[in-house]
Structure 1
């Protein structure tokens, strides 16, 4: 905690810029109390952690409102508080919201709207996060979650392949139908934007990474722009590079032999697994609903078409249902949508056969248009 009440019932906010000698003198003369439960607090002024207040062990108040706070959380919370102060924005640090019995890290009031800012350093379950969000919404407060930059991860600026844990994926936001995550790194005093996310497979994504120092951040927070077609071309190169490596390992690790639908499809279609046409294995909306890498189910679709003497234009709802059942894939609205989206791209390129000639530029143009309309659900 960074906020406490003094003996005189005055609010006291800790600031890491205050010399520790001055804080130690203050600690000798003043007692501090929790603004919520009114219990006396410990005033900790250590060597490895910034000065902070803490309840005595086994405090019910501490269990109800906060997890054990790390140095990173305390520092980031203080920096974000000072950021809003420097912007001349009405902000409260660790306020207790009696109506909903919750205590956000920060409460920001701007243009008559209230925002609860949560700087999240520790893992949080989706259920608990939703519970907090519902509480804020009941009190007409908009929640803003800012996950901390993971300590063990380094995101270099530029377009790159990244790995996002399921924990981080729950913080994905949408702007102009594009997906992004806004992180904060208190050590470097900067925001990290992972924007224009493109799903590869599992927890692997392609992203444009940008760092924004807190000194030039604004509120409402900066929203990342959609990547240009030139930048998207880099995405496509990375995507196919990942596909090459993934499929290479995929072949080596397969234990199913002729029962492996992907390998069977490639064999029957007389395709080279290390040089698949660039329209097999492309990102499409809702593809995350199919528990396979895109190249696997898209190659299988061409095999299904050949076996059943169908064209792309004949892939209606019933045909898609038959394909999903034939390929032993989950049948749902989202998997149907994924197949439809892929068929739409193939129709736009006038492709019906896996050996059909194509121009790289046409594929990039079609994929770019589709990417701008993607709204993934992770």
Structure 2
């Protein structure tokens, strides 16, 4: 905590002090109170951690559900200083009584109210939603920024995500999925864009960085567009995902492999139309390869040229798999528009664009080119190359 009250009610922010001796004199003469609970707090002026106020061990403050790290305090202090340098009237650790929440930073900009939440440790979806809804319900727009220490990069354009990282996803009409990250160690913003899941835990994304001093506030809302990740990168990661199913499969993967086996199919010899990226894929936690394969097993595999299905047939098949707990959906709190239905629609539209299906009236589809099922690894490699060479532009145009 970087802000407290003196006994006379005056607010004291450590962001305003650089002189340790001055603060040391304060500490000897004054007592400080928490702005939220009113209990006494201790001013700590150590040499290893950033100067801060700390509750006593027996304190029971409603805002002390997470212990602040030096990394977190340094980050929000730097973000506060950045806003001040931009000429924006910001307040550090403002307690908003209307929603009973303490924002890391609160500020007004262009006649709107904002609250920055700089999150450097994992919290539950319930807490994230509660704080988000608390702000929104009081006319405040929350800006959630992920701490750089929580960004797990495992390749050039490859990241490891769990439920926590997915909470920070936002979707803009012009640039698609994006996520703001800040690292106080390097004093830089990191922006992820064009995020596409390739498995339940791996995400490919474009990444760009910007030094804090060179970053404008507007970029925090809408990052400057960058090129998406090439389809070749996604297809490469898809092959690695397939291989991983045979190494240490979890229960869901074992059940998936077993169903393929009982239907005399091989995971490594599936049609290239399965596992295709679609913009709304993050709304489905189950890997794209798996839910599209289930749709193939339930409906598309049996369709002959000229046969017709309805959009509702496809939805029902997905919902049945969901009911059996073979498909899991994901809620993304910061994205008010879109759901798993959008991902299904996008996949059907993609199959139309690559001439596998033809769109008819009444949300019906006619099979134009039945799926080709390779019989050997050589055939699969050949089929996939032919497929991607022919349809790469169409597949990637979804994300423009």
Q: TM-score, normalised by structure 1?
A: 0.80
How is 1:286-325 mapped onto 2 (pairs within 5 angstroms)? 286-287=280-281, 293-296=287-290, 298=292, 308-311=302-305, 314-317=308-311, 319-320=313-314
Matched, 1:367 2:395: yes
| Contact 1:183 1:191 survives alignment (8 Å) | yes
- The residue number in structure 1 matching 2:366 is none
- The residue number in structure 1 matching 2:192 is 194
- The residue number in structure 1 matching 2:238 is 243
| Contact 1:315 1:343 survives alignment (8 Å) | no
- The residue number in structure 2 matching 1:167 is 164
Shift of 1:166: 0.8
- The residue number in structure 2 matching 1:24 is 24
- The residue number in structure 1 matching 2:44 is 44
| Contact 1:117 1:144 survives alignment (8 Å) | yes
Moved more, 13-22 or 92-101: 13-22
Shift of 1:342: 2.9
Shift of 1:54: 1.8
User: Judging changes above 3 Å, is the alpha-carbon distance between structure 1 residues 100 and 342 closer, same or farther for their aligned structure 2 residues?
Assistant: closer
For the residues of structure 2 that align with 1:189 and 1:320, how far apart are their CA atoms?
48
3-state SS, counterpart of residue 124 of structure 1 = coil
Q: In structure 1, which of residues 270, 274, 281 is the aligned counterpart of residue 275 of structure 2? A: 281
- The residue number in structure 2 matching 1:354 is 371
| Contact 2:72 2:118 survives alignment (8 Å) | yes
User: Judging changes above 3 Å, is the alpha-carbon distance between structure 1 residues 8 and 166 closer, same or farther for their aligned structure 2 residues?
Assistant: same
How is 1:1-378 mapped onto 2 (pairs within 5 angstroms)? 1-15=1-15, 18-60=18-60, 62-64=61-63, 67-150=66-149, 153-154=152-153, 160-176=157-173, 178-222=176-220, 223-228=222-227, 231-232=228-229, 234=230, 236-251=231-246, 259-261=258-260, 264=263, 266=265, 273=268, 278-287=272-281, 293-296=287-290, 298=292, 308-311=302-305, 314-317=308-311, 319-320=313-314, 338-351=343-356, 352-355=369-372, 358=386, 360-372=388-400
Q: Which runs of 5+ in 2 are unaligned?
A: 330-337, 357-368, 374-382
Note the alpha carbon deviations across 1:260-281, whole angstroms, 9 max, x for none.
32784645xxxx926x654332
Shift of 1:87: 0.8
User: Judging changes above 3 Å, is the alpha-carbon distance between structure 1 residues 182 and 312 closer, same or farther for their aligned structure 2 residues?
Assistant: farther
For the residues of structure 2 that align with 1:101 and 1:130, how far apart are their CA atoms?
14
Shift of 1:311: 3.5
Shift of 1:319: 4.5
Shift of 1:6: 3.0
For the residues of structure 2 that align with 1:149 and 1:242, how far apart are their CA atoms?
24
User: Judging changes above 3 Å, is the alpha-carbon distance between structure 1 residues 315 and 336 closer, same or farther for their aligned structure 2 residues?
Assistant: farther
| Contact 2:321 2:327 survives alignment (8 Å) | no
For the residues of structure 2 that align with 1:26 and 1:303, how far apart are their CA atoms?
71
3-state SS, counterpart of residue 347 of structure 2 = helix
Shift of 1:330: 5.4
3-state SS, counterpart of residue 136 of structure 2 = helix
Q: Which runs of 5+ in 1 are unaligned?
A: 373-378
Shift of 1:256: 7.1
For the residues of structure 2 that align with 1:218 and 1:318, how far apart are their CA atoms?
46
User: Judging changes above 3 Å, is the alpha-carbon distance between structure 1 residues 353 and 2 closer, same or farther for their aligned structure 2 residues?
Assistant: same
User: Judging changes above 3 Å, is the alpha-carbon distance between structure 1 residues 15 and 343 closer, same or farther for their aligned structure 2 residues?
Assistant: closer
Shift of 1:149: 1.4
For the residues of structure 1 that align with 2:293 and 2:238, how far apart are their CA atoms?
13
Shift of 1:56: 2.2
3-state SS, counterpart of residue 69 of structure 1 = coil
Cα RMSD after superposing both structures: 3.6
* Paired positions, count: 360
